[in-house]
Amino acid sequence: MTIKILCIGKTREKYFRLAVDEYLRRIRHYTPVEYTEIKAEKRKKTENDHQVKHRECEKIRQTISPQSVVVALDERGTQYSSREFSECISRYRDRGDVKTLTFVTGGATGFSETFLKNADSVMSLSKMTFPHQWCRLIFVEQLYRAYTILAGESYHKE
């Protein structure tokens, strides 16, 4: 199973990019992983958040293959412990029919309601709000942690 991570907007600070790249390198020890940043839409003076979300979600939709299982990362989603998240990854992996599991982070305005309704799952990293660059780093670390849990390695402590 291939993991795809799609993010709206660029990771600006080099130290975040280096940290994300390090965890992606580690994850590749367990499974193929692809990381893509999609250019954020600029708000026109006459636009509201809904219009920006719609355009960004349309870009995301065009990037995702129809066969992919889509998990949107959104503050309104289900929260998991690290172990529960690893079990979720395991269920997708063990189903046998999931070739690509795509995790998507939205832009500054979030996702359109239509996108969230069409996602296979909606997951929250926390009830707290984090800057997008932090979310990416936290997510790839948790993904790495999930795979180490599944492999029975000592990275995760309980």
The pair of structure tokens assigned to 141 is 């670390």
157 band by pLDDT with thresholds 50, 70 and 90: confident
Say which CATH number the domain at 104 has. 3.40.1280.10
Number of domains composing the chain: 1
Three-state DSSP class for residue 69: strand
Q: What would the pLDDT profile of 40-69 be if each residue is shown by its tens digit?
A: 888 877 878 888 888 889 999 999 999 999
Question: Considering the chain, what is the average pLDDT of its residues?
Answer: 93
In a domain, 76, yes or no: yes
In a domain, 15, yes or no: yes
Mean pLDDT of 79-90: 97
Least confident of 33-37, 65-69, 95-99, 128-132: 128-132
Q: Residue 93 is part of which domain span?
A: 2-41+49-150
- With respect to residue 158, please indicate whether it lies within any of the assigned structural domains: no
Is residue 28 assigned to a domain? yes
Residue 104 domain flag? yes
Helix, strand, coil percentages for the chain (3-state, nearest 5): 45, 25, 35
DSSP, res 78: E
pTM for the structure as a whole: 0.93
Question: Do the beta carbons of residue 80 and residue 145 sit within 8 Å?
Answer: no
